[in-house]
């Protein structure tokens, strides 16, 4: 069986990859286990040096890696370069801080000496999505390998070229062969990977249904999981917000990666007294954004990653309009080659509509008018998801209180759009998953937190 790469901007089939056989998979997993036994004994200094080599490769070859992303999933090429460079940042961050994050911590007890140590556990299976095909991988791989673990990647089928390019980056940096490997296979074989005795833990970024299936399978095998799942991030616009600032952040947060992001701004919840002004300003900025060839630096959004995803998005828009939403712009499938969908703005979105109830994964903004602040905050939490959120207000003290205490999410920003940062923990609550990536919390997810007690 083979996996085929299709350029979403043209519909052209341009590459075919042979699937990793069961026999080859067994060899790769056994190599991972053998190399883990040696890798865990290496010094932090050695791991640091290799990880910095990876970072240097990502920076010096960012254009080449961006071209692979653009060809496979349609990412605007300027965003692809930024993604490669952000991946390098994550490597540099853990290279410089990994040893400190995992240093033994003394604890005062009645023992003569007691402390907590953080030890690697083995092979971490990463099941990763197509939307950020480099960043999603490196935010798991950098901390996992720095901690002394090894990684096996099962990437999304439509970004196999990215998976193999990442594997080569680690090889070229002189990592042992089993420290990082990519398996070329469809999702139907994920279960056998989770069950394999070499695999000690699983990290997945993907949809909520996929997360539930992986969690159930891993739980049956008593293997720890970290799940970063879907999101329907609320951006709350209060009466005293700076609307120009809010609109700039909302547009950036909604359209990054052609709107195909778990932490994209998805529901704009606007107090009615400023809703009309917000709509007008949002439309003005949205109309300036250009859609087209993702290799053209001047375009803001490219095609969606696949035609079926584009068609699913359009169905959600149609269902919402049929239910009473106003389509202020966009909302029609363009008659061009490729999986393109225009920047779309829906107003008067209300409960029961697809644009309110479901995750909208594409360049579609949903404006939800509310009476007042109390209804805005209630609406923000009226979702099964809890990945990110934002609040816009001129009262910073109130904004901080809302962000820290009220909005149910793994991250909440005040007067800015939500994004991940190697220095801050990243993850969700409710149906957006559990566990954390990045920061000191991320590197400690896949270690044995071990008590040592000496009388």
Q: Which of 16, 12, 196, 208 shows the shortest CA–CA distance to 129?
A: 208
pLDDT at 183: 98
The Cα–Cα gap between 318 and 354 comes to 9
Mean pLDDT of the chain: 98
Q: Going by C-beta distance under 8 Å and a sequence separation of 6 or more, which residues neighbour residue 338?
A: 8, 9, 10, 11, 74, 303
Whether the CB-CB separation of 10 and 337 falls below 8 Å is answered with yes
Q: What mean pLDDT is predicted for residues 234-249? A: 98
Which entry of 72, 83, 92, 228 is annotated as an active-site residue? 228
Is 91 one of the annotated active-site residues of the chain? Answer: no
Was domain 2-229+430-454 assigned CATH 3.40.605.10? yes
Q: What angle do CA 370, 365, 271 make, to 5 degrees?
A: 20
Is 26 one of the annotated active-site residues of the chain? Answer: no
- Where do the domains of the chain lie? 2-229+430-454, 233-414
Q: What angle do CA 285, 290, 294 make, to 5 degrees?
A: 140
Q: State yes or no: pLDDT of 1 exceeds 80.
A: no
Q: In the CATH scheme, what is the code of domain 233-414?
A: 3.40.309.10
Model confidence at 91, pLDDT cuts 50, 70, 90, reads very high
Q: What mean pLDDT is predicted for residues 398-410? A: 98
Residue showing tokens 């994004």: 419
Which entry of 262, 279, 431, 445 is annotated as an active-site residue? 262
Q: What's this model's pTM, rounded to 2 decimal places? A: 0.97
The Cα–Cα gap between 94 and 438 comes to 9
Interval 51-64: pLDDT, tens: 999 999 999 999 99
Q: Percent of the chain, pLDDT > 90?
A: 100
Interval 295-345: pLDDT, tens: 999 999 999 999 999 999 999 999 999 999 999 999 999 999 999 999 999
Q: State yes or no: pLDDT of 141 exceeds 90.
A: yes
Q: State yes or no: pLDDT of 20 exceeds 90.
A: yes
pLDDT at 98: 98
pLDDT at 366: 98
pLDDT at 45: 98
């Amino acid at each position: 069986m083979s996996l085929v790469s299709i350029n979403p901007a043209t519909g052209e089939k341009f590459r075919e990859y042979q699937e990793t056989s069961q026999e080859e998979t067994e060899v790769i997993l056994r190599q991972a286990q053998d190399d883990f036994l040696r890798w865990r004994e290496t010094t932090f200094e050695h791991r640091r040096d290799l990880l910095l080599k990876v970072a240097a490769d990502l920076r010096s070859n960012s254009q080449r890696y961006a071209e692979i992303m653009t060809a496979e999933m349609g990412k605007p090429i300027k965003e692809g370069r930024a993604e490669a460079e952000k991946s390098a940042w994550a490597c540099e961050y853990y290279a410089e801080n990994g040893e400190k994050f995992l240093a033994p911590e003394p604890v005062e007890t009645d023992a003569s000496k007691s402390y907590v140590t953080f030890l690697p556990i083995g092979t971490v299976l990463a099941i990763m999505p197509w939307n950020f095909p480099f960043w999603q991988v490196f935010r798991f791989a950098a901390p996992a390998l720095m901690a002394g673990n090894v990684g096996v990647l099962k990437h999304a089928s439509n970004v196999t070229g990215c998976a193999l390019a990442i594997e080569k980056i680690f090889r070229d940096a002189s990592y042992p062969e089993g420290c990082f490997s990519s398996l070329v296979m469809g999702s139907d074989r994920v279960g056998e990977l989770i069950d394999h005795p070499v695999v000690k833990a699983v990290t997945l970024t993907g949809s909520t249904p996929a997360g539930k299936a992986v969690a159930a399978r891993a739980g049956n095998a008593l293997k720890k999981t970290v799940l970063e799942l879907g999101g329907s991030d609320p951006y709350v616009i209060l009466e005293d917000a700076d609307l120009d600032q809010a609109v700039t952040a909302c547009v950036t947060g909604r359209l990054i990666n052609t709107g195909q992001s778990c932490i994209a701004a998805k529901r704009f919840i606007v107090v009615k007294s400023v809703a009309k002004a917000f709509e007008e300003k949002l439309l003005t900025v949205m109309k300036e954004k250009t859609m087209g060839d993702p290799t053209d630096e001047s375009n803001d959004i490219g095609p969606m990653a696949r035609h079926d995803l584009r068609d699913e998005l359009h169905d959600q828009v149609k269902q919402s309009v049929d239910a009473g939403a106003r389509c202020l712009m966009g909302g029609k499938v363009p008659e061009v080659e490729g999986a393109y969908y225009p920047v779309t703005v829906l107003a008067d979105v209300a409960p029961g509509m697809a644009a309110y109830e479901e995750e909208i994964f594409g360049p579609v903004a949903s404006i939800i008018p509310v009476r007042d602040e109390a209804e805005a905050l209630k609406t923000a939490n009226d979702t099964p998801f809890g990945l990110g959120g934002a609040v816009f207000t001129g009262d910073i003290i109130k904004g901080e209180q809302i962000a820290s205490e009220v909005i149910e999410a793994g991250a909440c920003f005040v007067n800015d759009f939500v994004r991940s940062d190697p220095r801050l923990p990243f993850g969700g609550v409710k149906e957006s998953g559990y566990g954390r990536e990045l920061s000191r919390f991320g590197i400690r997810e896949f270690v044995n937190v071990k008590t040592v007690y000496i009388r």
